[in-house]
A and B are shown apart, each in its own frame.
Chain A
Amino acid sequence: MKIDTSNPLWRFRGITPMAMFFFAYLYLPILVLIVLSFNENRLATIWTGFSTDWYRVALSNDDMLRAAKNSLVIAVSATVIATTAATLAALGMARQRFRGETGVAAMLVLPLLVPEIVTAIATLLFFVAIGVQLGLISVIAAHTVFCIPFAYLPIRARLDGMDPALAEAANDLYANEWQAFRRVTFPLLWPGIMSGAMLSFIISLDDFVISYFVGGAGATTLPIYIFGMIRMGITPEVNAVSALMLIISIVFVSISFLIDRIRY
């Protein structure tokens, strides 16, 4: 319903300044970090001049590059497995309701409900008990779990918004089930799948707590490496790496949201 916001009756005192303060609070730290990452000074928080040197230093740090490569391998693997499983699950959950649907739906979002630290230690105990070597594989297995709901929700939302008449029309025109899926449902679902995949990718790339506990020595990811650096102290190199991570996340999420808005 439309309201006339120019009507003074709708102006509640203090609402606008509060909202302005909110957005300033939300974005000030991000802006400060990005600005300081271009600072030439060694002291990290005192501005002396523009420079991209710290990015060069950060990007030539071999340990960090190795950690970044681990993160990438984990994120890509977890995303591919999770998005595939989530797409199938969304296709199965859509349309008619069935008995036990609530339980299945709860199971699919369970990873979002359980506190990260609990997931981390439960998974660690589980891997130790069944004798899985901690490393890249164990981290991929653990990441896939929490990537599934992040991939599932946008795919499911897109399916629910789709006109069922389109697939029915394909059937009326003698497409078999596979053809109807391949030529009608899948192309329409594609933006949802891409959007879900990008969200899982970013959520895996950014994860710290679960990787930290399940990773073991062989699977240092970029966030774990950054954690170690922060522990050592605030340096301009950390500023640069952090700003890079920040920018990558923001770019990916923006793309994901733009793709999701592609019309049916």
Chain B
Amino acid sequence: MGNLIRSKRFWLIAPAVLYIGFFMAVPLGQMAYVSILERGDYGAVNWGVFSFDAYASFLFERDLMDNLMFNTDYLQIFARSFGLSAMTMVFALVLGFPTAFYISMQPQARRNFLIFLVTIPFWTNILVRNYAWMLLLRNGGLIDNGLAWLGYESGGLDILYTPYAVSIGLTYTYLPFMVLPIYASLEKLDHRLIEAAFDLGADKWRAMTRVILPLAAPGIAAGCILVFIPCLGAYVTPELLGGGKFMMIANLIGSQFGAARNWPFGAALGFVLLAFVLLSMMIYAMKFKSLPEEKL
């Protein structure tokens, strides 16, 4: 310990680590603690009074006679979140893999530029990106007018504020996270292996499915996690493109701190979401020996 305090390295690293520890690790621990507390009468929480109500209320609600009733409302929101995230992951993979492959086939200077193009939207405001899709998708918007111009009935698109719109927006938002790790693994790929496959009589389909895809597997897995996980926690897209009608987990959590005012329940949901995220990261790290983040 004395050595530690004297070492210069400790004092260099300490501010950042202590800051994150105090303003993030401690709050996360406290959130787990709040999730097992009793809900206060006027919102907030009864500190020090323990209760598992928050976890029970995920599946059961009390009716007027104080009987526990099975309630699938929240389960439906979780199912919708997982379904939309899985769908988004598949869309992102179908679009992202060919794009990553295409980029990896370009000359070096062009590759860097294309990768830069892929990352730019990530740095722009998420509200603005989703708002842009509202302009495109709404009735009387650009796509609707385009269809009308092609001879379809105008005003008949009716896609904004549906799960389809949410899915389009989610795919748009998280697409770069699919391309970057796949590109990173394709870039390292030894092309002699593919040539060898051709020499041994493989056609393109076989070279792709038997050589390229298996070699890109760690990148594909990382991309899938990096799309699926943030998708599960998406707040803005369901709020704007779903019009608040198609809640996902994050919106349910948020509403517990707004009108619903059930902090322990919100904390419990947050804790479940966090546990799920950390668990998938750990499984990935054990399988591929590094965190997906390091691939970016």
Contact = CB atoms under 8 A, between A and B. Distances in A.
Interface string A123-146: 111101100000000000110110
B12 A92 contact: yes
A32 B135 contact: yes
B142 A32 contact: yes
A174 interface: no
Interface residues of B, number: 89
B88 to A, nearest CB: 13
Q: How large is the interface on A (under 10, 10 to 19, 20 to 34, 35 or more residues)?
A: 35 or more
Contacts of A21: 95
Interface string B21-44: 101111110110010000000001
Interface stretch (B53-61, B67-75, B101-109): B101-109
Nearest to B233: A115
Interface in B268-286: 270, 273-274, 277-278, 281
A1 interface: yes
A125 B263 contact: yes
Contacts of A107: 17, 20-21, 25
Interface in B86-130: 95-96, 98-99, 101-103, 105-107, 116-121, 123-129
B135 A249 contact: no
B240 interface: yes
B246 interface: no
Contact of A33 (B120, B131, B281, B293): B131
Give the one of B103, B191, B232 with max A CB within 10 A: B191
A22 B98 contact: yes
B236 A115 contact: no
A144 B23 contact: yes
Nearest to A128: B44
B163 interface: no
Given A45-B141, A115-B273, A239-B135, A230 B20 contact: no
B136 A144 contact: no
A89 interface: yes
Interface string B163-198: 000000000100100010000000000111000001
Give the one of A88, A108, A114, A144 with max B CB within 10 A: A114
Given A125-B34, A129-B30, A148 B101 contact: no
Contacts of B204: 12-13
B23 A123 contact: yes
Contacts of A9: 198
A206 B121 CA distance: 12
B20 A22 contact: no
Contact of A10 (B30, B99, B105, B117): B105
B235 interface: yes
A194 interface: no
A104 B233 contact: no
A32 B141 CA distance: 11
Contact of A18 (B95, B142, B254, B270): B95
B79 to A, nearest CB: 18
A88 B10 CA distance: 10
A32 B135 CA distance: 8
Given A110-B20, A206-B125, A208-B127, A29 B236 contact: no
A114 B240 contact: no
B251 to A, nearest CB: 8
Interface of B: 8-13, 15-17, 19-21, 23-28, 30-31, 34, 44, 95-96, 98-99, 101-103, 105-107, 116-121, 123-129, 131-136, 138, 140-142, 145, 172, 175, 179, 190-192, 198, 204, 208, 229-230, 232-233, 235-236, 240, 249-250, 253-254, 256-257, 263, 266-267, 270, 273-274, 277-278, 281, 291, 293
17 contacts: A29-B133, A29-B135, A92-B13, A107-B25, A110-B20, A113-B277, A115-B250, A117-B249, A123-B27, A126-B31, A145-B20, A148-B20, A152-B16, A208-B125, A209-B235, A246-B128, A253-B120
